[in-house]
Structure 1
Amino acid sequence: MVVEREKVRIHILLVDDDARLQTNVRDFLEPYGCRITSMRSGRGVEAAVREQQPDIVLLDVMLPDDDGFVVLRRLRGVSALPVIMLTARGNDADRIVGLEMGADDYLPKPFNPRELLARIKAVLRRSSTPPDAAPREQSRDTLTVGSIRLDLKRQRLERGERSVQLTTTEFRIIRAFMGRPDEVLSRDQIQTLAFGENYYCNDRNIDVYVSRARTILRKLCEESPIHTVWGAGYRWISDEGDGLPPA
């Protein structure tokens, strides 16, 4: 079968100690315009990201030295680069831990390489395409609700002198809420606002993303402005008069 090659190449850093998987992934993805840089160890991933400047990282959970969660934690300390976790264990606990730590997606082994390619493209679309326009956006560069400010260009969340660098997924989730403060948003609405109408993830993923956003907000606010509305979804409560400590 002749495969039509894509003009735009995607540079992928693949971190997995399975030589056969590396070969299979490379053989399938390269005709679709992907360039693969491979590593078999989690050590040195941060340096590889700085030197190789990949577009996305495929990171195995079970590595021979530091496991993928340790590597992800270190990577998130220096980069918001999109990361898809790969695992042979495939249980919900691993998936939830990975998403809570800042992974953008999670794919259990064995996987269909076509699904891997679809996941890669979906994650990259999310990281490069702005979410739906938000009615409370005051300028091209910032979005402010009460004392919390979202820098739209640098993907940084700020309050007073404090600031937190966000991953693309964290940025999109928080931006969805800040664009519609005081509105009750269902999980479907959050998904559409954050990722677009053509993206699908299950309700549990949305709950994990929201949990991650709350954890980040507590670093700035002590109490997260995102509240659960039982049976309906979630709501961002503006901090004017809600008892949040001053910035």
Structure 2
Amino acid sequence: MTAHQGGGSAGYRALVVDDEVPLAGVVASYLKREHFEVSTAHNGHHALALAWENDPDVVVLDLALPGLDGLEVCRQLRTFSDAYVVMLTARDTEMDTIVGLSVGADDYVTKPFSPRELVARIRAMLRRPRSVTPGSEVGPAQPPRVFGPLRVDVAGRQVFIDDDPIMLTRTEFDVLAALSARPGVVLSRRQLLDAVWTHDYVGNEHLVDVHIGHLRRKLGDDPAAPRFVITVRGVGYRMGDGQ
């Protein structure tokens, strides 16, 4: 996916997927007011077809779709698209959140929700810099960051453990990049939100914990004795030396 340029949200493409046709229409109308190009789908198969055709920058995806549900749509979407995904769910439980984010969603919103807040979250995500990864700086390509067996190639957006590639979502990589940019320095959840989701993110700080959990699992990092991502209780997280 290529970032579209222009003032405000002009040129960005959004795909809204919800089997509640009136709700999908409301969300689409709010996005259109912000100058998004909007497509809508009301089932999973149509959503994937439109995603292939239109290459959206962001997908607003209902979890409880009939037939091919939102989780499976997100799984398949992640095989060909790096669009930001905001999952809509009527169930405000930690497990639903964890499952939704584990298949590649970047954020979640619980129904009923404010369309204005949803659009604010989308705008914040799309303001993430594309050419500069959180924790990196403009300039010559940086050498990989090495933490024991872990190697983080910021320029190439690749992660390896013992030379084996580790597949991360864009958000998981951005969290790791922010932490690895300042080894040994404790970053609060708010600081990580500011670095990865931007300063005007209006969601729950618990989102950081969920992405950290998935990141640790993919890195093979034992939460009880982590080598790479260390919890500092009551404060936040810091990068370990990998030993």
2:239 to 228, 233, 236: 236
Contact conserved, 2:13 with 2:58, CA < 8 A, in 1? yes
- For normalisation by structure 2, the TM-score amounts to 0.81
Compared CA separation, residues 48 and 156, structure 1 to 2 (3 A): farther
Say which is worse superposed, 196-205 or 67-76, in terms of deviation: 196-205
Shift of 1:71: 1.8
Contact conserved, 2:161 with 2:219, CA < 8 A, in 1? no
2:16 to 14, 28, 40: 14
Structure 1 or 2, whichever has the larger Rg, is: 1
Say which is worse superposed, 47-56 or 89-98, in terms of deviation: 89-98
Contact conserved, 2:16 with 2:59, CA < 8 A, in 1? yes
Letter in 1 for 2:16: L
Contact conserved, 1:16 with 1:59, CA < 8 A, in 2? yes
2:195 to 164, 187, 193: 193
> Following the alignment from structure 1 to structure 2, what is the Cα–Cα distance between the partners of residues 161 and 131?
22
Letter in 1 for 2:194: T
Report Cα offsets for 1:124-182 as digits up to 9, x if no partner: 112637355459x9953554123433333443212343213432211210001111222
Letter in 1 for 2:45: R
Shift of 1:208: 0.8
Q: Does 1:208 align with 2:210?
A: yes
- 1:181 is matched with which residue? 183
Shift of 1:100: 3.3
> Following the alignment from structure 2 to structure 1, what is the Cα–Cα distance between the partners of residues 9 and 81?
27
> Following the alignment from structure 2 to structure 1, what is the Cα–Cα distance between the partners of residues 17 and 207?
23
Compared CA separation, residues 40 and 200, structure 1 to 2 (3 A): closer
1:159 to 134, 158, 161: 161
* 1:130-169 to 2 correspondences below 5 Å: 130=132, 133-134=135-136, 139-140=140-141, 142-146=143-147, 147-169=149-171
Letter in 2 for 1:227: I
Compared CA separation, residues 155 and 200, structure 1 to 2 (3 A): farther
Aligned residue for 2:214, secondary structure, equals helix
1:218 to 217, 220, 229: 220
Aligned residue for 2:152, secondary structure, equals strand
Contact conserved, 1:155 with 1:167, CA < 8 A, in 2? no
> Following the alignment from structure 1 to structure 2, what is the Cα–Cα distance between the partners of residues 141 and 117?
34
RMSD: 2.9
User: Structure 1, unaligned stretches of length 5 or more?
Assistant: 243-247
- 2:37 is matched with which residue? 35
Contact conserved, 2:55 with 2:81, CA < 8 A, in 1? no
- 1:245 is matched with which residue? none
Compared CA separation, residues 79 and 29, structure 1 to 2 (3 A): closer
Compared CA separation, residues 230 and 90, structure 1 to 2 (3 A): closer
> Following the alignment from structure 2 to structure 1, what is the Cα–Cα distance between the partners of residues 33 and 207?
31
Give the total of aligned pairs: 232
Aligned residue for 1:130, secondary structure, equals coil
- 2:99 is matched with which residue? 97
Letter in 2 for 1:17: D
Shift of 1:26: 2.5
> Following the alignment from structure 1 to structure 2, what is the Cα–Cα distance between the partners of residues 201 and 142?
33
User: Structure 2, unaligned stretches of length 5 or more?
Assistant: 1-6
- For normalisation by structure 1, the TM-score amounts to 0.80
Shift of 1:73: 2.2
Letter in 2 for 1:157: V
> Following the alignment from structure 1 to structure 2, what is the Cα–Cα distance between the partners of residues 133 and 214?
19
Percent identity for Structure 1 against Structure 2: 35
Contact conserved, 1:17 with 1:41, CA < 8 A, in 2? yes
Report Cα offsets for 1:13-43 as digits up to 9, x if no partner: 1111111112222333223211111221112
